């Protein structure tokens, strides 16, 4: 069969259309669907990648926030016992009684876990004059709107004052009842000793009655609170140091007891804080807190704090400069610096005639405790830098000072 030229053209067109349709149906369409799926997967992966990279970039900041929170928690829980150990508290109370020479007897309540409750103001109804109702009525006639606002505010204030908040958090609580008698000055000294104790002790239900012109008798309750600590800052309290045999075979026999009540127990005095301009804390490598912390003294915002997690040692440099009557400080911890900007540093006013820097250290916990710090102090001012190092390990000190300028060092 002979085909005309026109029929050949038509046949070629039909064939081309057929090939195009088959290509679109079986090649192009599946590939387009696959590309769409891959684009969706790429978007998901890209989103996840951006989130991960964002988390990585903010990791150091979050770690610093965690360190700051740990320090804040440690500071806020410092006034409380890490846990209530009745035997240790008995020794502490005995120490208070012996120091103040007060005659006292004590009794203990069981240790319980109680919810932390907010303080509530007590209600008090003030007696009113019979003329007050007439004055109130007159006031309502003069300015009823103002009186309505006052009543509304009073209602809100009463509602707020009567509301009490109770937290779900609990703490260990133990109450000790103390019955005492002695000279009034002795009782005052005993109460002052309780209020200035290493840990916060709450005095409740205090009652006094005179016996004569100089002596009084009374009773009070002491409330002890225990809160778990994040760090080992109360390790000395947790260690039981009495390992010998104490007391008597017959508790009511004559004679004195031996051991704990004859021997003075070493005072565990908390580290005192003087008036300082800069402070540094050096901790054990086993501590949950950073081994090295440097900052401006009494910086409640903690913006000036620099931390180091290097457990094998860190280099710290403190630069003190002067421009006329103005003084500046700047310090470096490893590759970090405060402030980060180039220049003289942060202006400050020395609180005393000297520039005071305090370094709080501690004994080494184990033989593998390699936490140390090398501090270079460059003093370019007309004042003397007074460095006080407290509680450093006597056999193997953690702190080394390199002086550049007038620097005095005191170890305590």
In this predicted model, what pLDDT tens digit does every residue of 362-381 receive, in sequence order?
888 888 888 999 999 999 99
Residue 397, token pair as written in the block: 């000190």
Type and span of the H or E element at 402: strand 399-404
- The whole-angstrom separation of Cα 265 and Cα 250 is 24
Phi/psi-derived region of residue 221, left when phi > 0, alpha when psi is between -120 and 50, beta in every other case = beta
CB-based contact 412:388 (threshold 8 Å): yes
Q: Which two tokens stand for residue 294?
A: 């440097």
Distance separating alpha carbons of residues 388 and 404, to the nearest angstrom: 16
Q: What is the pLDDT of residues 183-205, one digit of tens each?
A: 999 999 999 999 988 888 899 99
Span 95-119, pLDDT tens digits? 899 888 899 988 989 888 887 665 5
For residues 352 and 47, what is the distance between their CA atoms, to the nearest angstrom? 56
**Pick from 48-52, 57-61, 238-242, 248-252: least confident:** 248-252
**What is the band of 1 on the pLDDT scale with cuts at 50, 70, 90?**
low
Is residue 217 very low, low, confident or very high in pLDDT (cuts 50, 70, 90)? Answer: very high
Q: What's the predicted TM-score (pTM) here?
A: 0.44
Give me the pLDDT at residue 160, please. Answer: 46
Query: Which residues are bridge partners to 255 per DSSP?
Result: none
Among 104-108, 171-175, 271-275, 284-288, the minimum mean pLDDT is found in: 271-275
Percent of the chain with pLDDT over 90: 30
DSSP for residue 74:
H
- Least Cα distance to 359 among 334, 327, 394, 391 occurs for 391
What's the whole-number mean pLDDT along residues 196-217?
A: 90
Query: Taking a C-beta distance cutoff of 8 angstroms, is the pair 106, 174 a contact?
Result: no
Instruction: Find all residues with CB under 8 Å of 226, minimum gap 6, and list them.
Output: 80, 81, 82, 83, 84, 111, 171, 172, 173, 174
Closest CA to 366 of 309, 287, 298, 296: 287
CB neighbours of residue 85 within 10 Å: 18
Pairing label, strands 385-390, 355-360: parallel
Tokens of 174: 């133990």
What's the average model confidence in pLDDT over 73-78? Answer: 82
For the chain, what is the mean pLDDT?
80
Q: What is the pLDDT, as a whole number, of residue 254?
A: 40
* 265, 96 contact by CB (below 8 A): no
User: Average pLDDT of 165-180?
Assistant: 81
| Residue 274: pLDDT over 70 | no
CA dist 218 and 220 (Å) reads: 7
- The CATH code of domain 79-115+168-231 reads 3.30.70.60
Instruction: List, for residues 122-153, the tens digit of each pLDDT value.
Output: 555 666 666 666 566 656 655 554 444 444 44
CA end-to-end span of the chain: 119
Which pLDDT value is given to residue 86? 86
pLDDT of residue 250: 46
Would you tell me the crossing angle of helices 86-100 and 184-195 to the nearest 10 degrees? 140
State how far the alpha carbon of 389 is from the alpha carbons of 345, 393, 394, 410, in Å. 24, 10, 11, 6
Assess whether pLDDT exceeds 80 at residue 245. no
* Model pLDDT for residues 316-362, shown as the tens digit of each residue: 999 999 999 999 999 999 889 999 887 889 999 987 789 999 999 98
- The per-residue pLDDT for 259 is 39
């Amino acid at each position: 069969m002979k085909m005309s030229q026109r029929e050949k053209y038509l046949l070629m067109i039909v064939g081309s259309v057929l090939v195009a349709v088959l290509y679109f149906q079986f090649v192009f369409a599946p590939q387009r669907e696959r590309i769409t799926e891959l684009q969706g997967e790429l978007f998901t992966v890209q989103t996840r990648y951006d989130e991960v990279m964002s988390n990585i970039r903010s990791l150091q900041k979050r770690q610093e926030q965690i360190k700051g929170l740990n320090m804040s928690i440690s500071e806020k829980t410092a006034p409380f016992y890490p846990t209530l150990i009745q035997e240790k508290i008995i020794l502490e109370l005995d120490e208070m009684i012996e120091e103040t020479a007060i005659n006292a007897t004590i009794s203990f309540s069981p240790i319980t876990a109680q919810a932390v409750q907010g303080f509530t103001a007590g209600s008090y109804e003030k007696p009113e004059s019979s003329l007050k109702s007439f004055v109130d009525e007159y006031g309502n006639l003069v300015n009823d709107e103002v009186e309505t606002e006052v009543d509304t505010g009073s209602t809100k204030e009463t509602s707020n004052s009567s509301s009490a908040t109770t937290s779900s958090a609990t703490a260990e609580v133990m109450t000790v009842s103390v019955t005492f008698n002695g000279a009034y000055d002795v009782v005052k000294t005993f109460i002052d000793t309780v209020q200035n104790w290493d840990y916060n002790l709450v005095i409740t239900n205090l009652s006094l009655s005179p016996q004569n012109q100089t002596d009084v008798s009374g009773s009070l309750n002491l409330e002890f609170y225990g809160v778990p600590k994040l760090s080992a800052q109360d390790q000395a309290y947790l260690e039981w140091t009495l390992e010998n045999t104490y007391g008597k075979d017959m508790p009511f026999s004559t004679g004195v007891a031996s051991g704990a009540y004859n021997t003075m127990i070493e005072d565990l005095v908390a580290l005192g804080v003087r008036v300082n301009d800069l402070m540094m804390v050096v901790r054990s490598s086993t501590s949950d807190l950073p081994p090295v912390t440097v900052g401006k003294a009494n910086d409640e915002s903690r913006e000036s704090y620099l931390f180091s997690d290097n457990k094998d040692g860190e280099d710290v440099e403190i630069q003190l400069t002067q421009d006329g009557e103005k003084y500046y400080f700047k310090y470096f911890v490893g590759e970090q610096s405060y402030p980060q900007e180039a220049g003289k540093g942060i202006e400050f006013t020395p609180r005393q005639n000297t520039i005071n820097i305090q370094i709080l250290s501690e004994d080494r916990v184990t033989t593998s405790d390699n936490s140390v710090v090398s501090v270079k102090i460059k003093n370019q001012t007309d004042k003397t830098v007074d460095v006080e190092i407290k509680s450093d390990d006597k056999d193997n000190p953690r702190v080394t000072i390199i002086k550049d300028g007038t620097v005095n060092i005191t170890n305590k």
